[in-house]
Structure 1
Amino acid sequence: MRHLSACHEGTVATISVDTLRAALARRDGRSAASRARTAAALNSFLTWAVRHDLLVANPLVKLDRVQVPEPAPRGVTRAAIDAILATIPRDQLRDQLLFRMLAETGLRISEALQLEVDDLDLTPDDEHLHVLGKRGQRRTVLLDAPQLVRLLRRYLKAMQARHGPLFRPLKNGDGLLLQYQTLQERWARYCATAGVVCTLHQLRHSHATALVQAGVSLATIRKRLGHKHIQTTLRYAEQSDTAADAELRARRRHQR
């Protein structure tokens, strides 16, 4: 509250919009998160003052809220992901496929769990998934990782199902969807075994980041991930100098 007291010598009842504007201006130059915390502290105090009849109304509501940028998505390294996948026993074919699919395609967890066998197009060298995304939007996702495709074919052969959910509970799972909680628990177990801290959603972030670093266009990444707005995809677009240079060199070679 020192920022408020430095700008106001009167009683609580005389705190005005201008007073608050001056108090917040003292935080200019600090991060948006820091300024937002200051505003939140002022708001708590002013709300308390109104509740105790020390102030008629909270003048802070007349000022624009401090906009805190959403933090950039955080992924994990490919080496860390591979270390986790390596801990999955060979006889746990479903888990091997599901977690590798999340890592290699960037699917949302809900999208993977909703996949049906009929959503697969296994045309040789052109394998795809037909994915039901947010807001009922459908998109096609290329399966361009050979190891993933081989694992998928093995899984389908072992499962011996032509229709219904692709990923099912291990016991009495015919026609039933695998539950999100079960998936989370099994992933956490594999992460603990590998000694790696990684959430399932970070697999999606890591995939998007890898695509950016490989020079894939934002339009293509947006379509693959099923983003409604390009601004969402732009959060991944802080390319490294190496990735940017590689894209420019490739374009120059193409023009020759």
Structure 2
Amino acid sequence: MAKQRITVCLPPVGPDGLKQAIGRAMAPFRYDREDVPHPDWVGEWDYWFVSGAGCLFDVRPGHEDDPRLVRHDDWTESAEDLPPSRCHGGPRGLLDLDTPRAAEARRAAGTWTAYHAFADRHPPALPFHHFEERARTLEPEHVREAAVAAFREQPLIQAIEADPALEERFTSDPALHLDEDQDTYVSRHVAAVLPTPALLTLDGRWVEGGGPDYQRTFNTYLDALPGDAMAVRVLYHS
């Protein structure tokens, strides 16, 4: 059992009716619903809160005072003092989805460029899984130890490990993803900015998953959501 977040999409609703609307949308997926549709029924949640901490939405500039924006967090014990530019949800037309994606595109492009400028000063490195696969054949009784040792012998990896700031920026296995072309690398990171692990659509579909396909589905759906429809971050216990 763990807590997870979902983005709940709703028809237009005012602040007074928001929790009731979320409750109706979430109800079909409750563990202990009374009208169990099948003997093997397993629900998705047993309690939930409005909460977008860690995945807040940006507010479209000029609409910071709109009362339809969701600014309360039911999960925190004390009231959260959100800046006017952030919220837990609201009408799709009031949410700025492009600014955080643009910021991530700039950050990812900068990381990719910096990594390749640094990596070009060393022999090319191979990702860890290459050494792990080789060790399964050469050192079947000590796969992990042999793979780690061989991986860390690479000059580029040694140079990155020698500087904690570089390891934090480029990760401990940079060749795994940073050897992609720049457009692919940037697009992959931009696609991951907005999605929560699950999405509840206007027509009542609970969609979840990971990886590029789910992220594309999430972004495409949110981009196409009507401007007056609500998108709200919800924390649920599964």
TM-score range, shorter chain: under 0.3
Asked which structure has the greater RCO (Cα within 8 Å, sep 6+), the reply is 2
TM-score normalised by length of structure 1: 0.26
| TM-score between the two structures when normalised by the length of structure 2 | 0.27
Is the radius of gyration larger for structure 1 or structure 2? Answer: 1
